[in-house]
Amino acid sequence: MQEICFTGDEAGFRDLRQRVRRWLDALGCNSSETAEIVLAVQEAAANVVRHAYGGDLSGRLVLRIRREGDRLLFRLADYAPEADGRPWPCLPPGEGRCGGWGVYLMRRIMDRVECGTPVAGEGNVLEMSKRVDGLVMRVQHESG
Amino acid sequence: MEFEIRNEGDYTVIAPRGEIDFHSSPRLRRQILDVLGRGRDLLIDMAAVSFVDSSAIASLVEGLQQAKEKGRRFGLAGLQEAPRQVLHLTRLDTVFPIRARIDDWLEA
């Protein structure tokens, strides 16, 4: 399991991407899988800063990633006030639009994206999961 | 993210370096709109950009739209794997004029 605590500022996000990349590389994900997952995590965390923290870059976030066989499970928690339950906008891509791709990308990359249950002190939780081809060989090796 | 800006004939070339996310994309957006506002054709040299998020893509889309409205040329070059993947995922890889190298634009 990997746990990454970070804040919404530029350095916090740079560190987040670097640590997620390193962890995925060490697990055996290929570069394409790693790039996609880092992007989905980035978009999820950016939405927390924008929507849950209202743009406050000092807000704390905690990402936990664990492997379960050939799947990766992500849990992103914040300490902002509980959200109003309205779903984040998920717009299809289009040349005429200058934004709104974040949730689209998360759903395109991950197999599952949904709200989780906050525990003590947490404000909001987002859970995502993805089956990763690069981990299949590892699972076969472990079970063989 | 840092960037260099240089003029090459009719084009202004913006060459960002590093990772572009929602913290830094407003700076890129301002530069893009500034260059297009001065009536220049614009190339974005992505060769030294290792990561972009959706906000960076939004800045590029806005630049493309502005260029079209103003009748200026707008192109991308030198895309690394990760930024190329983002364009593919958003289906914008067929929307942006893209060439392998900046020189491919300048020599055309």
**What is the Cα–Cα distance from A91 to A89, expressed in whole angstroms?**
6
Question: How far does the CA of residue B30 sit from the closest CA of chain A (Å)?
Answer: 14
pLDDT digits (tens, 9 = 90+) for A24-38: 999 999 999 999 999
pLDDT digits (tens, 9 = 90+) for A63-113: 999 999 999 999 999 999 877 666 566 555 555 555 678 999 999 999 999
Please name the member of A17, A97, A105 whose beta carbon is closest to the beta carbon of B89: A105
Determine the pLDDT at residue A90: 58
Structure tokens at B18: 């590093």
CATH number, domain at A83?
3.30.565.10
Determine the pLDDT at residue A91: 59
Cα–Cα nearest to A90, from A80, A81, A99, A77: A99
CA closest to A10 among chain B residues:
B23
CA closest to B18 among chain A residues:
A14
Determine the pLDDT at residue B41: 98
Residuewise pLDDT in 10s, chain B (108 residues): 899 999 999 999 999 999 999 999 999 999 999 999 999 999 999 999 999 999 999 999 999 999 999 999 999 999 999 999 999 999 999 999 999 999 999 998
Question: How far does the CA of residue A6 sit from the closest CA of chain B (Å)?
Answer: 15
Determine the pLDDT at residue A84: 66
ipTM, interface predicted TM-score of the complex: 0.93
| Interchain contact, B61 vs A97, CB within 8 Å | yes
CB A29 within 8 A of CB A135: yes
Structure tokens at A15: 């560190």
Comparing B10 with A142, the larger pLDDT belongs to B10
pLDDT digits (tens, 9 = 90+) for A36-72: 999 999 999 999 999 999 999 999 999 999 999 999 9
Determine the pLDDT at residue A141: 73
Residue A48 belongs to domain spanning: 2-143
| Interchain contact, B58 vs A105, CB within 8 Å | no
A54: left (phi over 0), alpha (psi -120 to 50) or beta: left
CB B30 within 8 A of CB B24: no
Domains belonging to chain B, first-starting first, are: 2-103 (3.30.750.24)
- Number of domains within chain A: 1
Residues 17-56 of B with CB under 8 A from A: 19, 21-24, 51, 53-55
A88 secondary structure, DSSP code:
P
| Interchain contact, A98 vs B62, CB within 8 Å | yes
Determine the pLDDT at residue B15: 98
Please name the member of A10, A39, A97 whose beta carbon is closest to the beta carbon of B23: A10
Please name the member of B24, B65, B85 whose beta carbon is closest to the beta carbon of A35: B85
Determine the pLDDT at residue A81: 85
Determine the pLDDT at residue A80: 93
Q: Is B93 on the interface with A (CB under 8 A)?
A: no
